[in-house]
Structure 1
Amino acid sequence: MFDSMLGAIELGLLYSLMALGVYITFRILDFPDLTVDGSFTTGGGVAAVMLTNGYSPWLAVIVAFLAGAAAGACTGLLHTKGKINGLLSGILMMIALYSINMRIMGKPNISLLRIDTVLTPFSSVWVKLIVLAVVIFLIKLLLDLFFRTDLGMSLRATGDNARMIRSFGANTDNTKILGIALSNGLVALSGSLIAQQSGADISMGIGMIVIGLASVIIGEAIFGARAVFWATLAAIVGSIIYRVVVALALRVEWLDTSDLKIITAVIVIIALTLPSVRRTIKQKSAAKKRASQLTAMSQQAGGTRS
């Protein structure tokens, strides 16, 4: 039980970069980017091919990030320059990436057994978790710092009100392309780390967009969607909680790994409905409080007249 929870936390940390990427497109840019399912596999495939050809694991991670960013930039170009609907742009790129990923990998799956990866030097589980947590938190801080720069502020403003930003002379097309590229770069980075942990597979990216959304929504249900610092932290924590919940659910006797998709769907439904349920409860309690106050005031007024 304890070992499975440690494994779930490790997976949550590895997938948290993907959750950060989804946060950028869905929350900051308000862009429904389905490229994620393809770019995650791109990152894993690129890293696996480079490792099997003797390249440095760290170089493989960097190239995987750049490959994902290139895929995201293509989606951004389709949307901004090609004037294609955002959702359709992501779907088209996701479909194209399946064939591209197959070309990159050369076969449906690549095993990385007995090949050194970025995770190989850490024999202790605790050391691995600490190093992963530190690295991911540093990436999160760099992302936070970027969103405080002029370019980052214009990217955030593009998602809030693109028309207003254009009126100030800013090029929203460029900021959208940059944001989608950065998002998919982080997604591919996550895919490259997952591949280095368990190998690359052509179908490893299927459903990643739902998992990323689940992580973001779970985190926001806990931390709220306030400042960028807390929002990015929420995405990371949400990713870890999601993996822990899945690990606990799979320990139920009548559930197995084939039920993972329905477990994910249930988690997302709960995370989506929880804020509205909480809001309704608060409104009802506030209404009851006002009603009791009005009753007390009317009773006092009646006593005063008598």
Structure 2
Amino acid sequence: MYFYLTALLLGLSFGCLAFGIYISMKIFNIPDITTDGSYTLGGAVTGVMLIHDQPTYIILPSVIAAGAVAGALTGIIHTKLKINALLAGILVMTALYSVNLAVMGRSNLPLINLPTLFSLISFSSNTDINAFWILSAFVVIIIAIIGYLLKTDLGLAMRATGNSESMVRALGVDTDRMKILGLAIANALTALSGYQITQYQGFADISMGIGVVITGLGSVIIAETVINWLHITFVWASLALVLGGAVIFQLVLALTLSLGVDANYLKAATAIFVLLIVGLPRLTRRAA
């Protein structure tokens, strides 16, 4: 049972990561690999600032700003230098490895016995239940903010840029600016996941972001399958399903571990699970 409770908490923590992937891949159709680096950047900034006794109201905006700068840099390389979006993300992700090492000063930062997000408020004496309520409140606020943003004129311009860039450009919208802004928001959300996970697990590690884009992608694909099946067009409902996809993804990994699969093969199990999510709907359509 502990596996599943931990999976639920991890799913909530990875919710912001899933939102970031949703914005970059589903709204802008940009495969943004910067995610691996900006996720670790969020954890690195969080760890260093916690060690230096910085309060949450300073750490949180710092993490958001760091992730946004990383995403904006990818957007600038892609739009202004006309470099393929995938390559631009890889370049920034690679550079962020060195940046993260410089920020942390070493490869691992233990945060044991330091005040964190989960010790600020006490909803329950049980630490896991307390973490559940804090993370739930956090993601509900994020969903409300993103949902509101996507329904504003700016948000509509961002969504239109992903749907038909040439048409939106003909209407006078600066699509390059929309892409840069969208990638900045996406990576700021990704950094927020690093912020949450670092505090939940009690350490920041230079390798914590390796392959994390697969986690976000799997969550979004699960959500997209349900969205298409139910023909959902409501923004907040779509975001809620993306969060649900993140939780389901972690629950499946917890089930894998509970069945006795060696933890060394967890990354392989993750990749196979995502492959099944992507491939089965297509195979089903062909069979029909």
TM-score bracket, normalised by the shorter chain, equals over 0.9
Task: Confirm or deny: 8 A CA contact 1:61 1:193 kept in the other structure.
Answer: no
Following superposition, which runs of at least 4 residues in structure 1 exceed 3 angstroms of deviation?
Answer: 277-281
Match of 1:215 in 2: 219
Match of 1:206 in 2: 210
2:225 maps to a residue whose letter is A
Match of 2:256 in 1: 249
Alignment identity in percent? 40
Match of 2:232 in 1: 226
Structure number with bigger Rg: 1
Bigger relative contact order, structure 1 or 2 (CA pairs below 8 A, ≥6 apart): 2
Unaligned runs of 5+ in 2: none
Task: Confirm or deny: 8 A CA contact 1:58 1:118 kept in the other structure.
Answer: no
Given candidates 245, 265, 270, the residue that maps to 1:238 is 245
Q: Distance in 2 between matches of 1:69 and 1:173?
A: 16
Q: Distance in 2 between matches of 1:135 and 1:64?
A: 15
Deviation (angstroms), 1:280: 4.5
Given candidates 177, 194, 198, the residue that maps to 1:191 is 194
Residues 1:138 and 2:141 aligned together: yes
Task: Confirm or deny: 8 A CA contact 2:118 2:130 kept in the other structure.
Answer: no
Match of 2:25 in 1: 26
Match of 1:302 in 2: none
Q: Alignment partner of 2:33: what SS?
A: coil
**Higher mean displacement: 108-117 or 54-63:** 54-63
1:218 maps to a residue whose letter is I
Q: Distance in 2 between matches of 1:239 and 1:58?
A: 26
User: How many equivalent pairs are there?
Assistant: 280
Given candidates 143, 162, 167, the residue that maps to 1:164 is 167
Q: Alignment partner of 1:147: what SS?
A: helix
Q: Distance in 1 between matches of 2:197 and 2:81?
A: 33
1:250 maps to a residue whose letter is L
Match of 1:100 in 2: 99
Deviation (angstroms), 1:278: 4.2
Q: Distance in 2 between matches of 1:234 and 1:252?
A: 26
Deviation (angstroms), 1:279: 3.4
Q: Distance in 1 between matches of 2:19 and 2:242?
A: 6
Q: Alignment partner of 1:116: what SS?
A: coil
> Cα RMSD between the aligned structures?
1.4
1:244 maps to a residue whose letter is L
Match of 1:12 in 2: 11
Deviation sequence 1:25-66 (CA, Å, 0-9, x none): 000000011000000000000010000001013421221111
2:221 maps to a residue whose letter is I
Q: Alignment partner of 1:110: what SS?
A: strand
Residues 1:265 and 2:271 aligned together: yes
1:116 maps to a residue whose letter is P
Q: Distance in 2 between matches of 1:97 and 1:42?
A: 7
Q: Distance in 2 between matches of 1:170 and 1:222?
A: 32
Deviation sequence 1:241-285 (CA, Å, 0-9, x none): 0101101101222x221111111111111111232244356x4xx
Q: Distance in 1 between matches of 2:62 and 2:36?
A: 18
Q: Distance in 2 between matches of 1:248 and 1:61?
A: 33
Deviation (angstroms), 1:24: 0.3
Match of 1:83 in 2: 82
Unaligned runs of 5+ in 1: 284-306
Task: Confirm or deny: 8 A CA contact 2:118 2:134 kept in the other structure.
Answer: no
Residues 1:46 and 2:45 aligned together: yes
Q: Distance in 1 between matches of 2:56 and 2:115?
A: 7
Match of 2:129 in 1: 126
Match of 2:155 in 1: 152
Deviation (angstroms), 1:230: 2.7
